[in-house]
Structure 1
Amino acid sequence: MRLKSTALVLIFAAALAGCNDTLESAVYESPKVANKVEQPLPARLVAEIQKKGMDRNAPIMLRIFKEEGILEVWKAKTNNRFDKVVEYDICAWSGRLGPKIKEGDRQAPEGFYPLTPYHLNPNSKYFLAINTGFPNQFDRANGRNGTNLMIHGACSSSGCYSMTDAQILEIYAFARDAFKGGQQAIQLQAFPFRMTAENMARHRHSQHYDFWKTLKVGYDHFEVTKRPPEVNVCNKNYVFNQLTADGASFNPQGACPATTTPPALTAALSGYNAAYDAAYAKAMKKYDGKIWYDPTEAERKALVADLRKSRAHDLAFAPTGSALKAGRFMRAEEAEVANQTPITGTAAVNQMAAAQSNQPAATTATATTAAASTAQATTTAAPQTAAEGQPAAGIPIPQPNPLVPPVTAAAAEPAKKKPLWKLWSSE
């Protein structure tokens, strides 16, 4: 009994420092495979890859949606556009919606992260792990810090995205095969939720809204092109698929150089922006006077209490429930009672949102209209698609160029590579 108690104490102590591969005493159910690092993809996924006309070692991209609790694996087809192969339910993620700010805050990262073979950890005590690469250039420029933020197995999280061991076995295999095929960097896109017009309207009172609008630019670019965007950082902000003149480079903390958006991309986004604005206005009417309450981690865990009890013998097994199911709408007057402060304007709403997340209130006003959400020239399109992975009919789409690497690392020197869209400019 004393040994078991000691093991639990060590696990909880490690959790305070973040996911750091210290679950040596934990006992959890793992797939029985001869070589987890070289375990091939199961037949069902190989069949899906073949069905979609993809090469087995073609490049991949990962997308995470916190609120929905989903991790998606996308893979390049022979036309160099990406299609979704599979999605997994995330077993556990800690904290609440919003980016990771500092070590020990239990937040899981949000943003765009290039993953290289260096980020794979075949010896993780969480069965297998892929480091997210946090902090990236954007995080460092904004003073954010933290270590060992991973996608891993064991279903236990303290700032990580934790899967079951069976799930991470497949995700690891996807990454391994892509690197074997020559991919240099896999793009991880981590979002708070699917950035549709309705979801953006529902979360418009969050103190993180301005940051999420920035992420949405990259989200939109992928939705339109079905190709991972080229990511850079300047003036402490993300910039996506931007052309610079005279070989100018991006300085994460310095002023942005003069940039232009490729005309083909601008044309493709315009139709989606119009559809987004209409959907956002409709959602604003639907949610008028309502404020979405983002649940705490404890409230999410309460939803899966019985599941946790059923696996009590697995010391590392600590799933978290759905943020969508645990969250709820509150009317403005209910929020006033809950926070003992009048909700009379944007600043007050920001204070209420900050109180929910135990973080400082935002210092800038949160946009609450569709017009404000389209302030940036190339942002805010929440594209509507006719079918999974296919652009809506009638919207011009840049033609794929098989000579362009489908994924580029954001950390690479910009002057040493050709921008993704420059090769399309002649078209």
Structure 2
Amino acid sequence: MAIKQLALVAFVALSLAACEEERYRGASRHWIPIPSATYALMSEKGMNKDQPVLIRSYKKESELEIWKRKADGQYALLKTFPMCRWSGQLGPKVREGDRMAPEGFYAIAPQQMNPNSSYYVSFNMGYPNAYDRAHGRTGAHLMVHGACSSAGCYSMTDDQIGEIYALVREAQNAGQKAVQMQAFPFRMTAKNLAQHRLDPNIAFWKNLKEGSDYFEVTKDEPAVAVAGGRYVFNGGSALAAVAEKRQQDETEVASLVAKGTPAIRLVYDDGDQHASFKQALMSNGAAALNRSAAWASKDVGVSREEALAVGPRVAVLDANGRTKATVRAASADNDAVLAAVTAAPAEEPAKPAPAKAEPAKPAASGPAAATQVARVSPGQALQAPVLASATSTPVAPAEEKPFLQRALSFMPVFGSSTSADQGMTTGSTPVASASPAAPTSILAPLPPRRASSLRTSNLDQATAGYASQTTTR
């Protein structure tokens, strides 16, 4: 019996090895070496290739960080990579096809590594995770890959993703079961939180900050769970220190707001890239952003180059979160955003209500009379300002009455007459008056009131419709 069990175990082990071998058969890219310069950097920082790694990414700053856990159990920053491309807007991915790159806490297991990607090499972030599923979010195959082209992914150059892939692979080969990726909209600084305090996603971002605070205080990977539709992070002995950091940040945010930090919302044409790549793209074209090697990704080009030519639009928000001005920033950098906000047009002052017209004055002595035209202002009684007066022209006889009088003479008269020189009304009915030689009382109905046109301020949304890659990234 024992022999049969040993044989079964050996068979299963051989089968798994065969699957692993088959999985990477012909995929020599899986064995991309860690660059020698990175080995030297690890040595300087007291790290080695087998230690666990952790990934942090930031959309607004277009950066991706690789952290390594040292011998003392704490993570330390190994290297920061400028991001070549991400698509969509700041905020979480919600549905398939929205071009949004995920935000949240994700785990990358060995089976999510893809050396056969059409975008050089890649790994699947694990979207949707438990949080995403709890909120009914849809989408699949959201990756970190090469080729500098994104339709909902975080895209690096081929050289960058090769190095990142190799670092993750070596940590997994040494026993790390899953690599945590913390994907943020921006660095969780007091300045960013103060600027984006009225963004519709701020509650979600503050929830992400709880995990970020734990990592930054302890330099240890937070344990992540989902309860009540929120991320929940372990506290332990560090709970008090994490709470203290949160309180300090909230105090700093309040201070920045009190000093006049504007509330904004960034609206991208379609994502962004690091300034270093943007400069290379504008100077030397898309070919400068990918290496030309035998393993290079297919020639897909940089996605939506035209969306990278300028920085995002900055929507300046009022106290209720409504847009009161929109300006274009040179980049997403805080200084460029602040410069754009400073240059934003001032709010238009409220227009004063139109002054009431003076009542018509009695005509001068003599047989002449003033020619008057009735005018209606919304919400006001009918007024009769004098448009022209004839002081020397005799009044036409009855059969040659002025046109207005002849036109109004067909209208019936209700109630008592009023004095023409005061422009008064009879009861609640406005009265239009003319002053011929012989006073005549004539009533005219009000013309229909025009509805005042309302102006609304809407932000143009980033264009959609780009077909996302679903099976090869």
Give yes or no for TM over 0.5: yes
Assess if the C-alpha contact under 8 Å between 2:52 and 2:68 holds in 1: yes
Q: 1:63, CA displacement in angstroms?
A: 0.4
For the aligned residues, what is the CA RMSD?
A: 3.4
Alignment partner, residue 282 of structure 2 = 306
Query: Does the C-alpha gap of structure 1 residues 64 and 121 become closer, same or farther in structure 2, counting only changes over 3 Å?
Result: same
Query: Does the C-alpha gap of structure 1 residues 310 and 276 become closer, same or farther in structure 2, counting only changes over 3 Å?
Result: closer
Assess if the C-alpha contact under 8 Å between 2:316 and 2:324 holds in 1: no
Alignment partner, residue 92 of structure 1 = 85
For residues 322 and 215 of structure 1, the distance between their equivalents in structure 2, rounded to whole angstroms, comes to 27
Alignment partner, residue 273 of structure 1 = 246
For residues 458 and 207 of structure 2, the distance between their equivalents in structure 1, rounded to whole angstroms, comes to 19
Structure 1: gaps (5+ residues): 1-33, 242-260, 344-350, 360-427
Query: Does the C-alpha gap of structure 1 residues 80 and 170 become closer, same or farther in structure 2, counting only changes over 3 Å?
Result: same
For residues 337 and 86 of structure 1, the distance between their equivalents in structure 2, rounded to whole angstroms, comes to 38
Alignment partner, residue 178 of structure 2 = 185
The reply to whether residue 284 of structure 1 matches residue 254 of structure 2 is: no
Query: Does the C-alpha gap of structure 1 residues 61 and 39 become closer, same or farther in structure 2, counting only changes over 3 Å?
Result: same
For residues 131 and 118 of structure 1, the distance between their equivalents in structure 2, rounded to whole angstroms, comes to 9
The reply to whether residue 152 of structure 1 matches residue 179 of structure 2 is: no
Alignment partner, residue 317 of structure 1 = 301
What secondary structure sits across from 2:76 in the alignment?
strand
CA deviation profile, 1:225-258 (whole Å, cap 9, x unmatched): 11110000111211001xxxxxxxxxxxxxxxxx
Q: 1:324, CA displacement in angstroms?
A: 10
For residues 57 and 300 of structure 1, the distance between their equivalents in structure 2, rounded to whole angstroms, comes to 31
Q: 1:271, CA displacement in angstroms?
A: 3.2
Assess if the C-alpha contact under 8 Å between 1:100 and 1:108 holds in 2: yes
Q: 1:272, CA displacement in angstroms?
A: 1.6
Alignment partner, residue 105 of structure 1 = 98
What secondary structure sits across from 1:188 in the alignment?
strand
Assess if the C-alpha contact under 8 Å between 1:37 and 1:122 holds in 2: yes
Q: 1:218, CA displacement in angstroms?
A: 0.4
Structure 2: gaps (5+ residues): 1-26, 291-297, 328-346, 349-455, 465-473
AA aligned opposite 2:207: T
Larger radius of gyration: 2
Alignment partner, residue 336 of structure 1 = 324
Query: Does the C-alpha gap of structure 1 residues 324 and 210 become closer, same or farther in structure 2, counting only changes over 3 Å?
Result: farther
What secondary structure sits across from 1:85 in the alignment?
strand
Kindly tell me the number of residue pairs found equivalent between the two proteins: 297
The reply to whether residue 233 of structure 1 matches residue 226 of structure 2 is: yes
What secondary structure sits across from 1:336 in the alignment?
strand
Assess if the C-alpha contact under 8 Å between 2:54 and 2:68 holds in 1: yes
For residues 80 and 119 of structure 1, the distance between their equivalents in structure 2, rounded to whole angstroms, comes to 26
1:247-266 → structure 2 map (5 Å cutoff): 261-262=235-236, 264-266=237-239
Query: Does the C-alpha gap of structure 1 residues 192 and 149 become closer, same or farther in structure 2, counting only changes over 3 Å?
Result: same
Assess if the C-alpha contact under 8 Å between 1:295 and 1:323 holds in 2: no
Q: 1:210, CA displacement in angstroms?
A: 0.8
Query: Does the C-alpha gap of structure 1 residues 92 and 289 become closer, same or farther in structure 2, counting only changes over 3 Å?
Result: closer
AA aligned opposite 1:169: G
For residues 68 and 145 of structure 2, the distance between their equivalents in structure 1, rounded to whole angstroms, comes to 20
Q: Which moved more, 1:140-149 or 1:47-56?
A: 47-56
Alignment partner, residue 270 of structure 2 = 297
What secondary structure sits across from 1:62 in the alignment?
strand
The reply to whether residue 42 of structure 1 matches residue 18 of structure 2 is: no
Assess if the C-alpha contact under 8 Å between 1:141 and 1:236 holds in 2: yes
TM-score (norm 1): 0.63
Q: 1:87, CA displacement in angstroms?
A: 0.9
The reply to whether residue 68 of structure 1 matches residue 61 of structure 2 is: yes
Assess if the C-alpha contact under 8 Å between 1:68 and 1:323 holds in 2: no
Aligned mate of 2:312, from 326, 340, 343:
326
Q: 1:292, CA displacement in angstroms?
A: 3.7
For residues 295 and 59 of structure 1, the distance between their equivalents in structure 2, rounded to whole angstroms, comes to 35
Higher relative contact order (CA 8 A, sep 6+): 1
For residues 273 and 117 of structure 2, the distance between their equivalents in structure 1, rounded to whole angstroms, comes to 27
AA aligned opposite 1:115: I
The reply to whether residue 202 of structure 1 matches residue 195 of structure 2 is: yes
Query: Does the C-alpha gap of structure 1 residues 44 and 306 become closer, same or farther in structure 2, counting only changes over 3 Å?
Result: same
Assess if the C-alpha contact under 8 Å between 1:98 and 1:110 holds in 2: yes
AA aligned opposite 1:104: G
Q: Percent identity?
A: 40
